[in-house]
Amino acid sequence: MIALVAVFIYQRYPFKFNQEFFIPFVVLSIVIGFLFSINLSTRIDEYGIHVKMFPFHLKTVSYKWSELHRVEVVEYNPITEYGGWGLRISRKGKAFNVKGYKGIKLQTADGRSRMIGTQKFDEAKIEIEQYKSLINE
């Protein structure tokens, strides 16, 4: 998309090829492409909670119900609690979030904490209630 805009602008207003313009344009295009490629997918099933935050995770990260001590669906403040959106590490633990202020808070049996952002708050609540008996409390 960005390349098409650049070609259109070049055709309308031709200019001399210039590395001072080209290199920042390429870098900016890569950064914008990277930001738009970030995708968080979460699956809750009878085995546990599975998270993949592309491009940070090439494989799905799974949290088995037997490895979890506590699971709850909560509202939180990504900026004050985790320092923003994205893949975050803070004193409260790791957070995987793309947008919004609702998530699934996990505490593993060994004390690690994870926050997984979700846009499907009500569906996550229902699924977690269904499998809550499998949690190792």
Examine the pLDDT at 31 and tell me if it is beyond 80: yes
Banded model confidence at residue 105, pLDDT cuts 50, 70, 90: very high
Structurally, what CATH architecture does the domain formed by 39-134 represent?
Roll (2.30)
Q: Where are the domains of the chain?
A: 2-37, 39-134
Report DSSP letters for the chain, one per residue.
-HHHHHHHHHHHS-----HHHHHHHHHHHHHHHHHHH-EEEEEEETTEEEEEEETT-SS-EEEEGGGEEEEEEEE--HHHHHSSSEEEEETTEEEEESSSSEEEEEEETTS-EEEEE-S-HHHHHHHHHHHGGGS--
The whole-model pTM stands at 0.73
8 Å CB contact between 136 and 69: yes
Banded model confidence at residue 24, pLDDT cuts 50, 70, 90: confident
Per-residue pLDDT, 115: 93
What is the rounded distance in angstroms from the CA atom of residue 112 to the CA atom of residue 93? 7
Average pLDDT, the chain: 84
Mean pLDDT for the stretch of residues 58-85: 90
The better pLDDT of the pair 6, 48 is held by 48
Encoded tokens for 53: 């935050």
